[in-house]
Amino acid sequence: MKELLVPISAAAAGSPTGRPRLSAPERVRSVVQAAGSVTLVTGTHRAHLEGLHAVAPDGGLLLALPEDSTIAAEAAQEGGLPAHVELTDVAPVAVKDRVRARVLLAGWLETEDVLDDAPQWRLTPVEVTLEEEGRRVELDGEDYAAASPDPLCCLEAELVSHLDSAHGAELDALLHACPPALDGGRRTRPLRLDRHGLTLRVERLAGSCDVRVPFPRPVRDVEEAGAALRALTAAALAARLDRPDA
């Protein structure tokens, strides 16, 4: 889906040029860091693991496979297995085309250490694939390992859900600061939030589009994100009052 970039004029002083967004490696690291579940795939088996993974500082996945796991038994017998992990990033609010990204991490599954007498398994990615907005990006493991996740990623679902349930008027004000072509017959929902800005999903009878509203500068934590959103909303309200058709 095409994404429009719409800076809010009164808040744009000092704002970055171009389309501020996470790099592909940062986006993948953010999806991995925030994931609540993963699908582990080997040449012979496939297992859905919910709440059973952690992420090492270098982006390696630490997997606590169930004791009766066929994959664990096979990997233990073979001394490790080639495997990949699949992750799906889904918008936290119910919108059409809710899948925001798909990630695949391929590497070698091997024993990391033992926790409470149970082996812990590690997958170190050597090949990484990101599918997002109709594009497919191939990354190597070094670029992935060197990147950092977005500072908001683990709280993003909660923040976006809160914006959707409690700040509809503010989201509407942001949209009114967009080009007049976006006005009328629409529903505005928050779709994505990261350190560079907020993405809105504009749902209309004629079709939907995504609108990117960048922050004046990247934020470092939730407090700065809240302050940036309040500044954008105030600027949008001021811009709306200045418009002759407001």
Residue 71 has pLDDT above 80, yes or no: yes
Q: Is the same domain home to 43 and 117?
A: yes
Strands (E), the chain: 3-5, 37-41, 46-50, 53-55, 61-63, 81-90, 99-115, 118-132, 135-140, 186-194, 197-204, 207-214
Tens digit of each residue's pLDDT (9 = 90 or more) over 147-174: 999 999 999 999 999 999 999 888 888 8
Looking up residue 207, the CATH number of its domain turns out to be 3.20.180.10
Domain boundary among the residues 98, 125, 146 is at 146
Out of 146, 163, 187, pick the residue that ends a domain.
Answer: 146
* 128 & 40 share domain: yes
pLDDT > 70: what percent of the chain?
A: 84
Mean pLDDT score, 179-194: 78
Boundary residue ending a domain (146, 166, 184): 146
- Domain containing residue 87: 24-146
**Structural domain tally of the chain?**
2
- What pTM was estimated for this model as a whole? 0.89
Kindly state whether residues 105 and 60 are assigned to the same domain. yes
Domain of 104: which CATH number? 2.30.110.10
Report pLDDT digits (tens) over 10-32: 344 334 445 678 999 999 999 99
Average pLDDT, stretch 74-85? Answer: 92
Residue 118: predicted pLDDT: 66
| pLDDT at residue 8 tops 70 | no
